[in-house]
Amino acid sequence: MTGSHDSFSYWVDKKSPVGPDQTQAVIRLAQISLVKKLMKKWSVTQNLTFREQLEAGIRYFDLRVSSKPGDTNQEIYFIHGLFGIKVWDGLMEIDAFLTQHPQEIIFLDFNHFYAMDESHHKCLVLRIQEAFGNKLCPFCSVEIMTLRSHFEREERGHGEEMLDQSQTETQKIKLQILFLHA
């Protein structure tokens, strides 16, 4: 399966604060404008949008997310040194692709969470469920799931709701990989 590292980092906002995924030393150094310009070059690890990555055959996405310090809303952003696009915007790109390509399966691996409390995690799960709805595959053991068994189950009309996977960092359980299909 083809995947991308820091999949969302095709754009980061050099005007945003340095992300909570960085050390205090980097945060202090970034007050120098030249350092922040260098950070932007380091933070951008992809040159294709989600849609372009999907069209190029990427099906596994490495996703790191954070709330933005000082924001009073529950908005969550992709992050890699600097803040990227809103998670919602990225999910909408992926959902549009899935709608046009109903036999595709995409893996979203939310594997780093920064500056997120339990309410942020719940908001993230609700956003994922809102974005993909019945395109979310049922929660099951990945050791026993195959593409054949998944599509056979769908054909028989045995769709299931995804189990709530909104565990928090404080509980030391992270959001599992999400399997998506149209």
Q: What is the pLDDT of residues 138-150, one digit of tens each?
A: 666 566 667 676 6
How does pLDDT run across 119-137, given as a tens digit for each residue?
Answer: 999 999 999 999 998 888 7
How does pLDDT run across 80-90, given as a tens digit for each residue?
Answer: 999 999 999 99
Averaged confidence pLDDT in the chain: 82
pLDDT for the residue 9: 93
pTM of the model: 0.79
Indicate whether 98 pLDDT > 60. yes
117-124 long-range contacts, CB within 8 A, separation 24+? 117/168, 117/170, 118/166, 118/168, 118/170, 119/74, 120/67, 120/74, 120/76, 121/166, 121/167, 121/168, 121/169, 121/175, 122/166, 123/74, 123/76, 124/65, 124/76, 124/87, 124/166, 124/175
Active-site amino acid positions:
5, 80
